[in-house]
Amino acid sequence: MGRLGYEIIPAVDGPTAIKRLGLILPDLILLDLFMPEMDGVEVCRRLQANSEWRHLPVIFLSAADDKDLVVRALESGGVDFLTKPFNHAELIARVKTQVALKQTRDRLKQVAEDKDELLGILTHDLKGHLGGMQMTAQLLQDRIGGLKDPRVAQLIDNILRSSSQMLNFVEEFLANAEADQCFAFKPQKIQFSAAASQAVHQYREAMRRKQLELRVDLPDGDTGVVADVSALDHVLDNLLSNAVKFSPPGGTISVMVEEEHNHVKCCVRDFGPGFTEEDKARMFRRYGRLSARPTGGEPSTGLGLSIVQKLVKMMSGELVCDSVHGAGASFTVRLPRPTA
């Protein structure tokens, strides 16, 4: 144990150091640039080639002050370089800094692993239970038509609304986490009109229940764009869901796809309450609470638009909101056409 409380494991050359790494992983490596059999740059390259070792910080020590050697050392994976003879106080300070940084990275890695575990719980346990609660409440609601007690109907309605809101939040939270982790993006040519038509079909029943008029303009020509199927489905689903939520009963929703030179755009417009200037400034933030509220008591998490923006950017597209407070809102997604 050294004077500073660090356990020091010596190795006289590169091969010996590599062997000892197989037995114990240090928090930091002090590596001489010039050694017999295997120089420091080669040792560092072997560290970077091993998934268990590449995270170890390496400080190079060398009597050479050649700038090219310094560059080679740092490019091979070193985090710092000290020229001999070095000041011991400076070496100790740099060691402390790098050890502290590694410990911080280790803690962040643990936090990330804990988050992934929580997401697993949300996905497999909580989501399943909430879905079961929602289905049970829906079945009860469908079967109490003949009951005279309005309190029972109100209680079941409360259960259905609460379970729907919680399930919606869990699903949006998981979608946001997936977007954060940059899920495996698989670009391919997709007909924007066909994707929009499919999304519209899924919301026809919800529009019918709110007596909404639907206007569509989906051209039959080539509306091919480069996109990810899952990401585009989520984007269109979210925009149509919001249009239905914020449209007053008896209102109108329009969905239009239009061809441009290098892009194709899809515009989803509602004639609901619209957004204020303050809303526009924060609408793409996570959990951003906006002034507009769903007109039929539908759940709203404040996560949807932030996810949509991330997914559109991942597809090299553009998302634009055009809204006047009190006069509805339109969201336009513009995606690139295939280059050749």
Q: What is the pLDDT of residues 305-318, one digit of tens each?
A: 888 888 899 899 99
- Rounded to whole angstroms, how far apart are CA atoms 2 and 301? 54
The yes-or-no verdict on residue 290 having pLDDT over 70 is no
Whether 288 and 214 map to the same domain: the answer is yes
Assign 213 to helix, strand or coil: strand
Least confident of 118-127, 161-170, 314-323: 118-127
Contact, 263 vs 337, CB < 8 A?
A: yes
In this predicted structure, what is the pLDDT of residue 289? 62
Calculate the average pLDDT of the chain: 82
Mean pLDDT of 176-186: 64
In this predicted structure, what is the pLDDT of residue 310? 86
The yes-or-no verdict on residue 19 having pLDDT over 80 is yes
Whether 170 and 204 map to the same domain: the answer is no
Whether 167 and 248 map to the same domain: the answer is no
- Rounded to whole angstroms, how far apart are CA atoms 163 and 135? 9
Q: Is residue 47 part of a domain?
A: yes
Q: How confident is residue 225, by pLDDT bands cut at 50, 70 and 90? A: very high
Mean pLDDT of 221-234: 91
37: alpha, beta or left, given left = phi > 0 and alpha = psi -120 to 50? Answer: left
Nearest to 194 by CA among 224, 235, 228: 224
Q: Is residue 109 part of a domain?
A: no
In this predicted structure, what is the pLDDT of residue 190? 94
Mean pLDDT of 68-88: 87
Please give the share of the chain, as a percent, with pLDDT higher than 90.
26
Domain end among 66, 86, 106: 86
Whether 270 and 142 map to the same domain: the answer is no
Domain span holding position 265 = 188-336
Whether 233 and 308 map to the same domain: the answer is yes
Q: What does DSSP say about strands 58-62 and 29-32: parallel, antiparallel, or unpaired?
A: parallel
In this predicted structure, what is the pLDDT of residue 4? 66
Tokens of 292: 């507009």
Whether 156 and 252 map to the same domain: the answer is no
The yes-or-no verdict on residue 117 having pLDDT over 80 is no
The yes-or-no verdict on residue 1 having pLDDT over 50 is no
**In the chain, how many domains are there?**
3
In this predicted structure, what is the pLDDT of residue 150? 74
Mean pLDDT of 176-194: 76
**Can you give the CATH number for the domain in which 33 is found?**
3.40.50.2300
> Cβ–Cβ contacts within 10 Å for residue 88, how many?
8
The yes-or-no verdict on residue 2 having pLDDT over 70 is no
Q: How do residues 259-281 score in pLDDT, each as one tens digit?
A: 988 999 999 999 888 888 887 77
